[in-house]
Amino acid sequence: MSYRLFAALSLLVGLGAMVAEGRPRYGGTLRVEMREAVRSIDPGDWPPDAQAAAAKERLVPLVFETLIRLDENSRPQPGLALSWRHDSSYKKWRFRLRPDVVFDDGSVMTVEAVSAALRPLNESWLVGSDGDVLLVDSDVPVPELPYDLADPSKSICLRGDNGRISGTGPFRVAHWGPGRRALLVANEQYWEGRPFLDSVAIEMGRSLRDQLLDLELNRADLVEIWPNEVRRLAQRGAKIRSGAPNILVALTFERGRPAAEDPRVREAVALSIDRAALHSVLLQKQGEPAAALLPQHLSGYSYLFSSGADAARARRLITVPVPPLVLAYDASDPIARAMAERIAVDARGAGLTLQVTGQAAGADMRLARLPIRSPLPAPALAEIASAFHLADLWHPAPRDTIESLYATEREMIDSHRIIPLLHLPGTFGSTPRLKSWATPGVCKSGRWRLDDMWLDTETP
């Protein structure tokens, strides 16, 4: 065993042996690391890239809040709005705001300030006020408005003349180094109670490998980890926190590549893949094998899709020689290469040759992962269709019934332009001294509840 590994192991074991406390303690700086380099915490500046958006979604709620929140069962709950009502057509919505909320610059949250924050977020909304009631009118029915308003991109912020933006959340920004590091400090006036932590120091742009090492060397308290590291880290005393399996890992075919345009080839690849082996061997049974694009907890019907491999049927589909296909994977993803190579082995059993590469250029297919952000099935499927260029298979109307949504997803999968492989949870490793109080600290959505976390100290 190398000295470095021994030292790392000793640190984690030492922390694991610490006497823990029950009631939370105030104070301390939480050291957090993340892979994405989040350029801005401004909720009005949302990145189009899904990975970047998912990372930003973990940071924004630490500083900014939405009118409505979603609970762990994705049901709308009061946030900055205490209550709301709508007319029978779902076009007129009225919100009563929570009183005595202040922005972190000290100014009181008023209905005018909330109106000003909401107005630019959706041009089809007519936002106004009537006394202390916030009005949101729309020309079209918006029955899912509470879900829309719960999205962090719809956070309420106050824009000062000096370009500073203030939020009402549990922390405020003390320093923001775009894409590199940030320091958030406790909002002493937070309406839901000052956070236990004094501050949160965030290091961005850290590779998963570096994050793991920093956790093991006690240079970080909370890091992102890949699910295949869960068992090893847990055995070494780290605490593991996971959300629901909302990250879709899928194989997609690039449009216009001759081999990829052959539906029999795509179907043969789909039939050749042994998802159970990917799940149990490479992912060490973390997450779920996926035969559907939406996870079961989101759609309720994904069990209707079959994920069984059928190499014999795959071989029967290949009646003429197929030139080697190039499968690209994300070279910065520590487990993607192993997954791609496993898929290539499976494809060989169907008579197909896959060449795996970390270069995207010239690839016929790619191994991709997409964090699914929406808590509702229809917008979630729309996200997937958009991210994987399946817009021609996405039929926006009628999508208001679960049957039509199922039919749309069935069509997408039967096209074999996208092959779902796994649904993985956002997974985080932490030192044992990081504890949470009223919540598990990581929501099912994968978002952090750092306001509810606290740091234990070593018993003398």
Partner 1 sequence: MILHSPVATSADSTAAAARELAEKTLAATGPLENVQLTFRNRTSLTALEAEEAFQVVEKELRSRGMRFAGESETTARITVTLSENPQDYLWIAEIQRDPGRDLVIVTQAKSADAPAARPAAKMDLRLTLTVEQNDPVLDIAYAQDELVVLDPGHLTLFRRQNDRWVPQKSAPIPALRNPPRDPRGRLRLSGETFQAWLPGFSCSGSVSPSLAVECEKKEVPWPLEQGPAQLEPGKNSFVAGNLPAFYSVAAAGDEAGRSWIFTLVDGRTMLVDDALKPAGTIAGWGSDIAGTNSACGTGRQILVSLPGDALEPGSVQAYEVIRRQAVAVTPPVVLPGPVTALWPLTSRGGAMVVSHGIKSGRYEAYELSIVCGP
| Residues binding partner 1 (CB under 8 A) | 19-26, 72-76, 83-88, 92, 94, 100, 146, 188-196, 239, 241, 296-301, 303-304, 375-377, 401-403, 406, 435-441, 451-452, 456-460
Calpha distance 63→69 (Å, rounded): 14
Nearer Cβ to partner 1, position 102 or 338?
102
Nearer Cβ to partner 1, position 156 or 298?
298
Minimum distance from residue 61 beta carbon to partner 1 (Å): 16
Nearer Cβ to partner 1, position 42 or 192?
192
Minimum distance from residue 312 beta carbon to partner 1 (Å): 22
**What's phi and psi for 47, nearest 5 deg?**
-70, 145
Q: Supply 287's token pair.
A: 């997450």
Nearer Cβ to partner 1, position 146 or 289?
146
Calpha distance 152→162 (Å, rounded): 23
Minimum distance from residue 85 beta carbon to partner 1 (Å): 4
Residues in Cβ contact with 241 at an 8 Å cutoff, skipping those fewer than 6 apart: 427, 428, 429, 430, 440, 441, 442
Minimum distance from residue 14 beta carbon to partner 1 (Å): 15
Nearer Cβ to partner 1, position 172 or 366?
172
Largest CA distance in the chain: 73
Calpha distance 85→68 (Å, rounded): 12
Minimum distance from residue 221 beta carbon to partner 1 (Å): 14
Calpha distance 175→165 (Å, rounded): 13
Minimum distance from residue 288 beta carbon to partner 1 (Å): 13
Minimum distance from residue 254 beta carbon to partner 1 (Å): 31
Cα distances from 435 to residues 9, 203, 283, 300, in angstroms, run 20, 20, 26, 32
Nearer Cβ to partner 1, position 296 or 357?
296
Minimum distance from residue 24 beta carbon to partner 1 (Å): 6
The phi-psi region of residue 106 (left if phi > 0; otherwise alpha if psi is between -120 and 50; otherwise beta) is left
Nearer Cβ to partner 1, position 88 or 162?
88
- CA angle 105–109–114, rounded 5-degree value: 115
Minimum distance from residue 187 beta carbon to partner 1 (Å): 9
Nearer Cβ to partner 1, position 383 or 456?
456
**Which residue in the block uniquely carries the two structure tokens 């959505």?**
445
Which of 272, 298, 425 has the alpha carbon at shortest distance from 352?
Answer: 272
Calpha distance 296→324 (Å, rounded): 34
Residues in Cβ contact with 80 at an 8 Å cutoff, skipping those fewer than 6 apart: 65, 66, 67, 97, 98, 101, 109, 114, 156, 168
Q: Supply 352's token pair.
A: 């197909």
Calpha distance 277→338 (Å, rounded): 12
Minimum distance from residue 282 beta carbon to partner 1 (Å): 26
Residues 165-195 as b/e (b if ≥16 CB within 10 A, e otherwise) read bbbbbbbbbeebeeeeebebbbbeebbeeeb
Which of 167, 169, 147 has the alpha carbon at shortest distance from 71?
Answer: 147
Calpha distance 207→352 (Å, rounded): 33
